[in-house]
Amino acid sequence: GAGVSQSPRYKVAKRGQDVALRCDPISGHVSLFWYQQALGQGPEFLTYFQNEAQLDKSGLPSDRFFAERPEGSVSTLKIQRTQQEDSAVYLCASSFFRAAVYEQYFGPGTRLTVT
């Protein structure tokens, strides 16, 4: 079946612009995660949804970052007033979340460049 999809794949924003990144998880997956990957680093957790509820947003770096999943499927990560340090690849992952199994599947990512 279809995997996790993300759009756009590439985004160039001028400093100060707002951006919105979309994630379509695998159908039926309850859990959805956002991660941020800086160049040369491993991905770092941003936020977690179980269905439409945002249960953990401890990794969001500032109040300029906002995520939503209003119907428990598609999710949007929004970054307001982008800064150069926001340049990174933003990865979305989903998981079925059945008991004692937490395997996550990742989308291709959105590469954000802030100029």
Partner 1 sequence: GIQVEQSPPDLILQEGANSTLRCNFSDSVNNLQWFHQNPWGQLINLFYIPSGTKQNGRLSATTVATERYSLLYISSSQTTDSGVYFCASAGGTSYGKLTFGQGTILTVHP
Nearer to partner 1, 33 or 65 (CB): 33
**Cβ-based nearer residue to partner 1, 31 or 80:** 31
CA atoms within 13 A of residue 10's CA, in its CB half-sphere: 1
Nearest distance from C-beta of residue 1 to partner 1, angstroms: 14
- How far lies 109's CA from each of 18, 21, 100, in Å? 18, 9, 27
CB of 31 to partner 1, least distance (A): 6
Q: Is 89 left (phi over 0), alpha (psi -120 to 50) or beta?
A: beta
| Interacting span for partner 1 (CB under 8 A) from 19-27, 32-40, 66-74, 79-87 | 32-40
Indicate left, alpha or beta for 13 from its phi (over 0: left) and psi (-120 to 50: alpha): beta
Binding site for partner 1 (CB under 8 A): 31, 33, 35, 37, 41-45, 48, 50, 55-56, 89, 91, 93, 95, 97, 100-106, 108-109, 111
